[in-house]
Amino acid sequence: MAEEKKNLFNYDEDSIRTLDWQEHIRLRPGMYIGKLGDGSSPDDGIYVLLKEVIDNCIDEHTMGYGKQIDVTIEKGVATVRDYGRGIPLGKVVDVVSKINTGAKYDSNVFQKSVGLNGVGTKAVNALSNYFKVTAFRDGKQKTAEFEKGILKKEYKEEKTTESNGTEVQFIPDDTVFKNYHYIHEYMDNQFWNYCYLNAGLIINFNGKKYVSKNGLLDLLQRKTNADEIRYPIIHLSGEDIEVAITHENQYGEEYYSFVNGQFTTQGGTHLAAFKEGFVKTIRDFYKKDYDASDIRGSISAAISVRVQEPVFESQTKTKLGSTVVYPDGPTMKNFIGEFLGRDLELFLHKNPSVADALKKRIEQNEKERKELAGIKKLANERAKKANLHNKKLRDCRFHYNDEATGKDKDAILEKQKETTIFITEGDSASGSITKSRNVETQAVFSLRGKPLNCFGLTKKVVYENEEFNLLQHALNIEDNYEDLRYNNIVIATDADVDGMHIRLLLMTFFLQFFPDLVKNGHVYILETPLFRVRNKQETIYCYDETEKQAAVKKLGSKPEITRFKGLGEISPDEFARFIGPEMRKQPVMLLPETHIQQVLEYYMGKNTQERQEFIIGNLRVELDLVDAP
């Protein structure tokens, strides 16, 4: 036995293995595209694949070639066509199938590109069941087809009347991206961002046209509500930098940061420099040492910079690490700080009404902060004392380490995306989830009964209400949204009337006091099966009536059908299936035209005649469906 164990851990020449490029990508996809997911999160792999292809088109546009990109997604097949220069025909196969091959190593060709090191398209190729690339160049075209990164057919060059450019078509590998589905709103948001950052670019997606004339001004106008902003949007631009700024009535801070056209969802050095530079400029302009949180409270801002040879903290490029704008050029801090100190200050001098409105917003934040200070201190003391004894939070083992570096940093960032907290009600439901969860990355917070309807209340209630106070401490957002402990906040309630009510009360809490959590895609609704259909050979879990009927038809012979009335009825062994890698969760999303206060007033305000008519009308529809044969 000892000899067998020794042989098991032998480390010799036979232990060394060289993987083909596509094998390496398929074995470690997270290194290249981040988390895989099923499409329920905006940073899931299927969107990253699409982005990697479009990024190459954007780079062509940025260099002055091609004003239009056509994108279609039909029955899982994604097609992207640009009208740039087209891949050189002799390198079509190499560009999409050989690591360390591409034009982005030549800074003269792609000075400030979105893509990095030509890896992206290879990852799309390797992670697709089918991948086809066609280059059109000077009256000729070249096509190659792949399957999971392996070349299946290379066509000879032939004449064409097509305009120059490149077309890529791919079908994501459903063994890698299990149960995946595209959510239109995520792609809609992505296409608009491309257009905001590239004024004049036209993107056609499944018949819809996207184009922007005013860049980040258009972005902020779409993201904010004209009735809620405190002053007209400030829009400033200079060489390699553009910003748009306003303040709203709602709580929180909201930022949209971009580097070379890439949406840096986790910010980075450019966003940190913007925040610091904005605070300094405001203090200098008003000649008063305002607290930074008062200056930035309720801000909604966008910043875009162009950086030569950018350094990102991971291959998915969601956080900028560059400390300089150009090699041997200004630091990020000085570049952005000096721009704001010059252009923003000049704007405020020229627009006294905007300066006055901004000052009033800052002073209102200051007043509210001081009023909350005493309440907040007592609430924090109560929370600390309660945490010593209560069992409301079953935390996970993993916590983000901001000081990690190198490969450890990449691994930690990817693991951070998996962190999840389930908010549930009742001991039985929280008990099932607690026993079946992944203790490394999944936490559980147990509510005690129904939360308070906080619509129309001030933020004092977050500290005065024990349930809300402990919840915000569990999420670690009492001081700063950016300190959020879990990437995914999943509301897990029963699929009955009480469960739906609790769900609405929690959504009201987040939308009223922490809207940026929703706007940035952190809040979800857990989907659990309504039915279990089984016979002696197979068990099928069904999430709606249609799936149940299909399962009954498949199993035949009058299978056993169980209707789950609550989460507590699902055993821990069963629950593990529903909160694991194939977990179904629906994102809580806000459409750009959504007015948060109007939505909350309608659903959670006084029981108006309009709402009564809506409920009665929809109840009739439900009864008609039930009575239908």
pLDDT at 569: 79
Cβ–Cβ under 8 Å, residues 63 and 262: no
Q: Which CATH superfamily is domain 22-210 in?
A: Histidine kinase-like ATPase, C-terminal domain (3.30.565.10)
Assess contact for 124 and 177: CB atoms under 8 A. no
Give the helix ranges, DSSP H, for 164-245.
184-197, 216-223
Domain layout of the chain by residue ranges: 22-210, 216-368, 390-528+567-594, 532-561
Q: How many residues does the chain have?
A: 629
Report yes or no: 31 and 21 within 8 Å, Cβ to Cβ.
no
Residues of the chain with pLDDT below 70 are 1-19, 21, 99-119, 314-316, 386-391, 400-410, 592-593, 617-629
Give kind and range of the element (H or E) at residue 281: helix 269-286
Q: Which helix (H) or strand (E) holds 398?
A: none
Residue 79's pLDDT is 96
* Phi, psi dihedral angles at 554 (to 5 degrees): -70, -45
Helix (H, G, I), strand (E, B) or coil at 602: helix
Q: Which CATH class is domain 390-528+567-594?
A: alpha beta
Phi, psi of 45 (to 5 degrees): -55, -35
Contact 40, 587 (CB under 8 A): yes
CATH top class, domain 216-368: alpha beta
Q: What are phi and psi of 235, to 5 degrees?
A: -125, 115
| pTM > 0.85 | no
Contact 180, 77 (CB under 8 A): no
CA distance linking residue 533 with residue 550, whole number of Å:
10
**Amino acid found at 121:** T
| Strand pairing category for 488-492 and 523-527 | parallel
Query: Across 64-149, where does the E strand assignment appear?
Result: 68-74, 77-82, 128-137, 140-147
**Matching fold, domains 22-210 and 216-368:** no
* Dihedrals phi, psi of 102, to nearest 5 degrees: 165, 170
Q: What is the pLDDT of residue 403?
A: 58
**Angle of CA points 122, 125, 126, to nearest 5°:** 85
Q: Name the DSSP letter for residue 343.
A: I
pLDDT at site 357: 95
256 near 219, Cβ under 8 Å?
A: yes
270-325 pLDDT per residue, tens: 999 999 999 999 999 999 999 999 999 999 999 999 988 888 776 667 788 888 88
184: exposed, middle or buried (C-beta count within 10 Å: 0-12, 13-18, 19+)? exposed
Q: What is the pLDDT of residue 277?
A: 96
Select from 359, 482, 487, 331 the least CA-distant residue to 417: 487
Instruction: For residue 209, list its beta bridge partners.
Output: 204
DSSP string, 474-518: HHT-SS-GGG-S-SEEEEE--SSHHHHHHHHHHHHHHHHH-HHHH
CB atoms within 10 A of CB 231: 17
Q: For residues 278 and 344, is the Cβ–Cβ distance under 8 A? A: yes
What's the pLDDT score for residue 236?
96
pLDDT of residue 592: 66
Per DSSP bridges, beta strands 584-587 and 523-527 are: antiparallel
Q: What is the pLDDT of residue 10?
A: 58
